[in-house]
Amino acid sequence: MPPPAGCTGQRAANPWRLHSGPGRTRRVLRPRGHRIDELWALTVSEASALLDGGEISSTELTRAVLERIDAVEDKVRAYITLTADLALEQAAAADERLSDPDAPPLCGIPLALKDVLSTQNVRTTCGSKILGDFIPPYDATVVKRLRDAGAVMLGKTNMDEFAMGSSTENSGFFTTRNPWDLDRVPGGSSGGSSAAVAADECLGALGSDTGGSVRQPAALCGVVGMRPTYGRISRYGLVAFASSLDQIGPLTKDVADCAVMMQAIAGHDPLDSTSLPDAVPDYSAALKTDVAGLRIGLPKEYLAAGLADAVKAVVLKAVDDLANAGAEIVDVSLPHTEYALATYYLIAPAEASANLARYNGVKYGYADLDAGNVEQLMMNSRGNGFGSEVKRRIMLGTFALSTGYYDAYYLKAQKVRTLIKRDFDKVFESVDLVATPTTPTVAFAIGEKTDDPMSMYLSDVMTLPGPIAGIPGISVPCGFSDGLPVGLQFMAPELGEPALLQAAFAYEKTARVGSAAPPKAI
């Protein structure tokens, strides 16, 4: 097989992937030629080029990824539901379509979907026992767009129940392992998707981000994760957690893949009244290595207490790298940052308390059929079906909305939300982007924070303000601390995705932080 153009160049985009180590079955892709059993290691862009050139088939690629899943899934446990047969059917259909030179870039690419996305005829659990056997009759808009683009669906990935959590430990089924250290969490709530990407159990994945659920696990698993502007991607079919905060976002092996995925799923949807009508730009056109003149703000509030020293050092080094590449680094302040956590934990649970009210055992999902009457059926179904974190947030939200408390909690939180948004508006008058750590620490140990919800909530402290303001953010790997990946977050004004992609891409290309990468655990 002749070498595909661009393939070798793309490898550097994910430098840590150049190294194999003990326990890792994967071999390095050589500049010339590909081993069919290593196709799972490809990025979306690489695979797309090979598929377009007719050098590999989607069926070969999909089989390779399914074999990879077979080999490592026992250790990682990224998937709740695998749809191998469906994937092979879709791959076969994609192969027919690939003869058309105008086949979309994602045609034939095997992807994973967070189990929060409604998939017609494929079980969608949202990580909850209460939807343990729920098979939706319809596709989410993003799922439909991926299907229409010819993408191959490998399965549905694990997550914290109803996307409430930062580690997948709140999954109603099992905890996903971080591929870098199987005793550590992959982050959450899109931990199944981030682990699947990191472990090459898919070429790319979709997650959802309410307070950081794409960016935080991306950082902890050393992959790229973007949360777009609120309204950029249709939420239709995204099982709602907190409607005013939820956004779907891609998790990918590199920044170029992020642009390709965004291109396929972004855009207005008449089925989502909060989706933005703005035209979708060409995201891949934003992938420039030049950051000269780009003004990047460094908000001091994100480098304060609670941030691990080692993480801080890695992130500041990354910022230096950007400065060396020509970006202008400006110290800025986002003074209301400290209120983001409290604001988030009033607004999100309040909305969740209504969004999760529908799961009552009457229409679908788990039902306690031994209950003596309808009231008992509904109470027991919720009591047995929901996990403790979900119940905690339903109670928090119910309280915050109650008569006599609404003004003091929910309404106040909405006002603070405006202040947080104004902080960003003001800063973006003088800078194009802000750069921060994505998380205060690297991946923590499984079980370390399960008894302390507050410390768990704090792991999202850097990713919460963006959603509160409705602005986009991206996390890109920027190095390691104790052998575990560290994420660099960029945030941009509304619809600033091209700027995010540009900065992340330029950083990825110039910094080559991965050269110090330790072996993965699998």
Partner 1 sequence: MVVETEAGAAYKIVIGLEVHAQLLTDSKMFCACSAKYADAPPNTVVCPICLGMPGVLPVINRRAVKMTIRTGLALGCRIPEHAKFDRKNYAYPDLMKWYQISQYDLPFCTQGHLDIQVGGGTRRIGITRVHLEEDTARMIHGVDESGETYSLLDVNRAGVALMEVVSEPDMATADEAREYLVKLRNILIYLNVSTANMQDGAFRCDANISVWPEDAEVGDSKVEVKNMNSFRAVHRALRYEQERQIALWEAGEGPPEQETRGWVEASGITVSQRSKEYAHDYRYFPEPDLPPLTVGREWVESIAEKMPDLPDEIEHRLIQEAGIRAEDARQLINDRDLLRYFEQASKGYPDSQRLTNWVTRDLVRELGERKVTATDSPVPPQALVELLELEDSGRISGKMAAEIFRSMFQTGRRAADIAAEQGEQITDQDEILQAVRSAIEQNPKAVADYRSGKKQAAGFLVGQVMKATKGRANPGSVNELIASELA
Euclidean distance between CA atoms 415 and 279, whole angstroms: 30
Is the separation of the CB atoms in 151 and 97 below 8 Å?
no
- Of the two residues 58 and 158, which places its CB atom closer to partner 1 in the complex? 158
Q: Least distance to partner 1 from the beta carbon of 414, Å?
A: 8
- Which of 33-68 are b and which e, b meaning 16 or more Cβ less than 10 Å from the residue's Cβ? ebeeebbbbbbbbbbbbbbeeebbbbbbbbbbbbeb
Q: Least distance to partner 1 from the beta carbon of 205, Å?
A: 18
Euclidean distance between CA atoms 91 and 56, whole angstroms: 12
- Of the two residues 311 and 352, which places its CB atom closer to partner 1 in the complex? 352
By CB under 8 A, tell whether 140 contacts partner 1: yes
Task: List Cβ neighbours of 403 (8 Å cut-off, separation of 6 or more).
Answer: none
By CB under 8 A, tell whether 350 contacts partner 1: yes
Number of residues that bind partner 1 (CB under 8 A): 43
Strands (E), 215-355: 224-227, 247-252, 295-299, 328-332
421 is catalytic: no
By CB under 8 A, tell whether 146 contacts partner 1: no
Q: Classify residue 270 as left (phi > 0), alpha (psi -120 to 50) or beta.
A: alpha
Instruction: Pick the binder of partner 1 from 157, 210, 353, 463 (CB under 8 A).
Output: 353
By CB under 8 A, tell whether 131 contacts partner 1: yes
Q: The tokens of 158 are what?
A: 């694990």
Q: The tokens of 311 are what?
A: 């993480």
By CB under 8 A, tell whether 137 contacts partner 1: yes
Q: Which among 78-86, 186-194, 234-242, 327-335 is the span making contact with partner 1, rule CB under 8 A? A: 234-242
Q: Least distance to partner 1 from the beta carbon of 350, Å?
A: 6
114 is catalytic: yes
- Of the two residues 174 and 406, which places its CB atom closer to partner 1 in the complex? 406
Task: List Cβ neighbours of 303 (8 Å cut-off, separation of 6 or more).
Answer: 312, 315, 316, 436, 437
Q: Least distance to partner 1 from the beta carbon of 358, Å?
A: 5
Instruction: Pick the binder of partner 1 from 102, 277, 305, 363 (CB under 8 A).
Output: 363
| Binding characters for partner 1, 404-443, by CB under 8 A (x = yes) | --x---x---------------------------------
Q: Least distance to partner 1 from the beta carbon of 457, Å?
A: 21
Q: Considering the candidates 171, 213, 353, 459, report the single residue annotated as catalytic.
A: 213
Q: Least distance to partner 1 from the beta carbon of 217, Å?
A: 21
Q: The tokens of 359 are what?
A: 């799961």
Q: Using CB atoms within 10 Å of the CB of residue 182, give its burial: 0 to 12 exposed, 13 to 18 middle, 19+ buried.
A: middle
By CB under 8 A, tell whether 402 contacts partner 1: yes
Strands (E), 378-483: 433-437, 473-481
Instruction: Pick the binder of partner 1 from 304, 362, 395, 408 (CB under 8 A).
Output: 362
Ordered DSSP codes for 27-49: -PPPSS---GGGGGG--HHHHHH
Instruction: Pick the binder of partner 1 from 8, 274, 284, 333 (CB under 8 A).
Output: 274
Strands (E), 197-256: 204-209, 224-227, 247-252
Q: Considering the candidates 48, 57, 118, 189, report the single residue annotated as catalytic.
A: 189
By CB under 8 A, tell whether 504 contacts partner 1: no
- Of the two residues 288 and 421, which places its CB atom closer to partner 1 in the complex? 421
Q: The tokens of 301 are what?
A: 């509030």
213 is catalytic: yes
Instruction: Pick the binder of partner 1 from 30, 32, 300, 358 (CB under 8 A).
Output: 358
By CB under 8 A, tell whether 133 contacts partner 1: no
By CB under 8 A, tell whether 357 contacts partner 1: yes
Instruction: Pick the binder of partner 1 from 304, 374, 408, 445 (CB under 8 A).
Output: 374
- Of the two residues 464 and 499, which places its CB atom closer to partner 1 in the complex? 464
Helix 497-511 vs helix 255-265: crossing angle, to nearest 10:
160
Instruction: Pick the binder of partner 1 from 93, 134, 371, 518 (CB under 8 A).
Output: 134
Gyration radius of the chain's alpha carbons: 22
State whether the Cα torsion 443-496-205-260 is positive or negative.
negative
Ordered DSSP codes for 92-119: HHHHHHTTSTT--TTTT-EEEEETTB-B
Instruction: Pick the binder of partner 1 from 25, 67, 138, 383 (CB under 8 A).
Output: 138
Euclidean distance between CA atoms 67 and 263, whole angstroms: 28
Q: Least distance to partner 1 from the beta carbon of 393, Å?
A: 15
Helix (H, G, I), strand (E, B) or coil at 202: coil
Q: What does the binding site for partner 1 look like in residue numbers (CB under 8 A)?
A: 117-118, 124, 126, 131, 134, 136-138, 140, 235-240, 242-244, 270-274, 350-351, 353-354, 357-360, 362-364, 374, 378, 398, 401-403, 406, 410
Q: Which residues are annotated as catalytic?
A: 114, 189, 213
